[in-house]
Amino acid sequence: MSSTHLKVIPISDLRVGMFVTKLDMSWLDSPFLSHSRAIKDTSDIRALRDAGVKTLTIDLSRGVDVAPPSEDTSAMAVPATAAPITPRPSRRPTSGQPPSLRPPVEPASLDRELRVAAHLRSKIKKAVENLSRALESGSPVDMGELAPLVDSTLDSLERNDQALMSLVHLSRKTQRLSDHVFGTFCLVLNLALLRKIPTAEREQLGLAALLHEAGWTQLPLNLIGKRSRYTEAERGLVHKHTLIGNQILAHSDLPELTRRIVAEHHELLDGSGYPAGLRGEQIHPLSQLLTVVDVYEERVHQLTDEPGVTPTNALRSLYRDAERGIFPADAVAALISLLGIYPPTTAVMLDTGERAVIKEHRADTPLQPRVVIYYSADGSVLEPPIEIDLRQVTTPPRMIESAIDLTAPGNEQWRRLWMSEEDLSA
């Protein structure tokens, strides 16, 4: 498209028959699915004015110019493929209030938030599955479906982040891509809240988390969670998924930062990542944040050919890798502070010999979470299980001694410690 066809005009000059290519606000700050649209009738002009648009860029090769060529605008040619301007569903105010001012969110109890979070999880996973199908068939990303998920997830995390954090960890027995994306998305948004990342960047980061494995849709499905080591050829294919993702997302109208984060989510600080082998500051800080969360989720979830590990061991390995200069130490420390040494749903041994599961972690008392004890010290099943807040003095006094790896040989007998969703809300 030649720039000589482009003209910046005030909203007062906008009329039916023009073709808009750009607004004076970022995509995330506007209520529209796309900024590139034909103006088909006066309601389109009204929608733009109501959204707070002051100036816009029109393309003279695809629509009319400012000077009215005739009195009857209804007869003007409008490209046949042009879709009407559809407001993007969003809870964010569109004018008069900067996007960083989110309405305050009231805290909620874990039990109450769990119901909301479970519903949100099915919406996120369904959206990711729809997205995968669309990308497989070469269709562009439907932002109208994805963007509101970021806001709803941030709201849930702000009300009580333990609900989504528990659901993320509960699904670690599955190897579906949608589970991995759900986990990565929730974790990175929670980390972004903790680190006070500005709203606009946080939302672009959230979109990147939803899209970061787009390239996997073009790879053989048996490579996800493969139980034996990849062959050289298979590893080569897996390493291509960021480039493939970039290619298929090129057809979509995405924020620039989102594209960059998707492209860089396997780059490592020491230059040993892929596809470009970028180092240190060459990698955007938000890409580094997504990488840390993505690797944690992959290690817990067994997305590749690496055997899955417990959340505690995944955090331990990330910590060691940060010391070796592979990941940013501050981001790893933030993740540990967010999840605790024993993330929700982790099976643990108490110093009394009892076996329990972490139900709720609190950042201010990381070693004293709420736990549910399923086995007494002599190994017998407690029915019903006992829920205890380790912050309170109990008889006998209890402390966490260590995490239990339920997949390790000999630990099959403690199967009650694989917490289910019903256990969480019981």
Antiparallel, parallel or unpaired: β 55-59 and 6-10: antiparallel
Q: Which residue is nearest to Fe ion (CB)?
A: 294
Q: Does 423 bind Fe ion (CB under 5 A)?
A: no
- Tell me which residues in 61-100 interact with Fe ion (CB under 5 A): none
**For residues 314 and 300, what is the distance between their CA atoms, to the nearest angstrom?**
6
**For residues 391 and 323, what is the distance between their CA atoms, to the nearest angstrom?**
31
Choices 17-25, 197-205, 293-301, 330-338; region in contact with Fe ion by CB under 5 A: 293-301
Encoded tokens for 47: 């929608």
* CA nearest to 385, candidates 397, 394, 376: 376
- Tell me which residues in 355-384 interact with Fe ion (CB under 5 A): none
* Main-chain dihedrals φ then ψ at residue 391, nearest 5 degrees: -75, -25
DSSP string, 39-71: --SHHHHHHHHHTT--EEEEETTTS--SS-S-S
Choices 54-62, 289-297, 304-312, 323-331; region in contact with Fe ion by CB under 5 A: 289-297
Count of beta carbons in the 10 Å neighbourhood of residue 276: 15
Choices 13-21, 294-302, 370-378, 388-396; region in contact with Fe ion by CB under 5 A: 294-302
Query: Cβ closer to Fe ion: 38 or 332?
Result: 332
Choices 61-69, 206-214, 232-240, 376-384; region in contact with Fe ion by CB under 5 A: 206-214
Q: Does 264 bind Fe ion (CB under 5 A)?
A: no
Query: Cβ closer to Fe ion: 161 or 294?
Result: 294
Please work out the total of residues on this chain that contact Fe ion, with binding judged by CB under 5 A: 2
Q: Smallest distance, Å, CB 350 to Fe ion?
A: 34
Place of tokens 């809870």: 91
Place of tokens 């294919």: 237
Q: Smallest distance, Å, CB 347 to Fe ion?
A: 25
Query: Cβ closer to Fe ion: 15 or 299?
Result: 299
Q: Does 179 bind Fe ion (CB under 5 A)?
A: no
Element (H, E) at 165: helix 143-170
DSSP string, 250-272: TTS---HHHHHHHHHTT--TTS-
- Which of residues 294, 321, 354, 423 is near Fe ion by CB under 5 A? 294
Query: Cβ closer to Fe ion: 26 or 246?
Result: 246
Residues engaged in binding Fe ion (CB under 5 A): 213, 294
